[in-house]
């Protein structure tokens, strides 16, 4: 049985997903804003976030909210130990180009730590959920990370976020090095779904730099509760998802593949690009 908070999150994620589905056939008419170089948001992002927040506030008006579009919204009831972390449309570029790979991501953090997570893919009607200490589920069925023992034959996922383009040369050298062992490396365009796919074993590992708290808060918990490990490029625990934290590096996978993946990132020189 799902926790009450997870049921609230599922309802909110489906409400946001319905907004995205209703608008996906009028992409040419959408108002699109360039938040930063090659980093876009549309009116649909904001509409979906508003719908999600409405549902969450209805259940817990006293909680703080951190949304990708709206930033931090603190309750007028005083400080809260709980924060909703929302990405109403993870994979905006995919969505705007008509590429069917995007999702809604919601995490509930207790202090800075993810407590519950929901990632919803409206097009496939796939609902990933997790609660700290209670495992990860896909459409109410328990899932686990893959059992691959090393990088040989691994299916990996990465990303090239616009705010990290100055390090793209080092990133590509890392990809080149990894492909000597890995079966392939995908670039799907949705960090949240990337982590969900690691959690359910569709991908053996994931690495990316420049991800924001709302990109990864839910996905981190999915991976951990599915038996996986999450760390940064130095191999250190990513620690809590601080509301004030900015872009970070992330590696995720099963416990056996994360270490060789992290070492490959170091030996390729990619880590040094952040010095």
Q: What is the pLDDT of residues 131-146, one digit of tens each?
A: 999 999 999 999 999 9
- Token pair, residue 17, equals 């997903």
Domains belonging to the chain, first-starting first, are 4-143 (3.30.540.10), 155-274 (3.40.190.80)
Pairing state between β 141-143 and 136-138? antiparallel
Assess whether pLDDT exceeds 90 at residue 244: no
Residues 6+ apart with CB under 8 A from 254: 145, 146, 147, 148, 204, 205, 227, 228, 229
Q: Which contacts (CB < 8 Å, 24+ apart) does range 240-244 have?
A: 240/109, 240/111, 240/112, 240/113, 241/85, 241/107, 241/109, 241/112, 241/113, 241/114, 241/213, 241/216, 241/217, 242/112, 242/213, 243/64, 243/66, 243/72, 243/83, 243/85, 243/109, 243/112, 243/213
- Paired tokens of 221: 């918990």
More confident residue, 162 or 119: 119
What confidence tens digit (pLDDT) does each residue in 175-204 have?
Answer: 999 999 999 999 999 999 999 999 999 999
- Decide if pLDDT at 11 tops 60: yes
187 burial (CB, 10 Å; 0-12 / 13-18 / 19+) is exposed
Q: Are 145 and 198 in contact (CB under 8 A)?
A: yes
The label of the residue with tokens 């990632």 reads 119
pLDDT at 38: 40
Q: What percent of the chain clears pLDDT 90, i.e. is strictly above it?
A: 71
pLDDT in tens, 86-134: 999 999 889 988 899 999 999 999 988 999 999 999 999 999 999 999 9
Longest dimension (CA), the chain: 55
Better-scored residue on pLDDT, 26 or 151: 151
Per-residue model confidence (pLDDT) at position 73 = 79
Using the structure block, give the residue that is written with the tokens 């053996």. Answer: 204
pLDDT at 25: 78
pLDDT of the residue at 41: 54
Q: Place 219 in a pLDDT band, splitting at 50, 70 and 90.
A: very high
- Smallest CA-to-CA distance from 44 within 108, 91, 84, 101 is with 91
Average pLDDT, the chain: 90
pLDDT level of residue 72 (50, 70, 90 thresholds) = confident
pLDDT of residue 24: 80
pLDDT of residue 33: 54
**pLDDT band at residue 239 under the 50/70/90 scheme:** low
What SS3 state is found at 270?
coil
Residues pairing with 129 in the sheet: 118, 137
Residue 205 has pLDDT above 90, yes or no: yes
Q: What does the block give as tokens for 4?
A: 């009450």
Q: Is 38 helix (H, G, I), strand (E, B) or coil?
A: coil
Quickly state the pLDDT bin for 3 (edges 50, 70, 90): confident
pTM, 2 dp: 0.92
Buried b / exposed e across 2-19, counting CB within 10 Å, b at 16+? beebbebbbbbbbbbbeb
> Does the pLDDT at position 9 exceed 80?
yes
Please tell me which of 163-167, 255-259, 271-275 the model is most confident about, judged by mean pLDDT. Answer: 255-259
Quote the pLDDT of residue 241: 67
Q: Which helix (H) or strand (E) holds 143?
A: strand 141-143
Among the listed ranges 4-18, 25-39, 90-104, 253-267, which one has the minimum average pLDDT value? 25-39
CA distance 123 to 241: 28
Q: How far apart are CA 62 and CA 108, in angstroms?
A: 13
Q: Fill in the DSSP letter of residue 216.
A: H
């Amino acid at each position: 049985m799902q926790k009450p908070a997870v049921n609230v999150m599922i309802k909110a994620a489906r409400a946001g997903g319905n907004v995205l589905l209703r608008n996906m056939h009028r992409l040419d008419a959408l108002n699109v804003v360039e938040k930063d170089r090659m980093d876009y948001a549309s009116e649909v992002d904001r509409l979906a976030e508003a719908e999600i927040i409405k549902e969450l506030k209805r259940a817990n008006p006293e909680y703080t909210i951190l949304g990708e579009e709206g930033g931090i919204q603190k309750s007028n009831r005083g400080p809260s130990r709980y924060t909703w972390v929302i990405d109403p449309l993870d994979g905006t570029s995919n969505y705007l180009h008509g590429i069917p790979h995007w999702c809604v991501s919601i995490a509930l953090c207790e202090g800075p730590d993810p407590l519950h997570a929901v990632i919803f893919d409206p097009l496939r009607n796939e609902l990933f959920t997790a609660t700290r200490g209670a495992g990860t589920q896909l459409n109410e069925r328990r899932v686990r990370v893959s059992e691959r023992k090393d990088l040989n034959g691994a299916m990996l996922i990465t990303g090239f976020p616009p705010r990290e383009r100055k390090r793209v040369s080092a990133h590509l050298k890392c990809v080149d090095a990894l492909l000597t062992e890995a079966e392939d490396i995908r670039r799907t365009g949705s960090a949240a779904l990337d982590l969900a796919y690691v959690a359910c074993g569709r991908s053996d590992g994931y690495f990316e730099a420049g991800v924001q708290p709302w990109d990864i808060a839910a996905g981190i918990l999915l991976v951990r509760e599915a038996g996986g490990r999450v760390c940064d490029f130095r191999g250190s625990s990513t620690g809590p998802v601080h509301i004030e934290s900015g872009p970070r590096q992330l590696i995720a996978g099963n416990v056996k593949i994360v270490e060789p993946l992290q070492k490959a990132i170091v030996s390729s020189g990619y880590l040094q690009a952040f010095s």
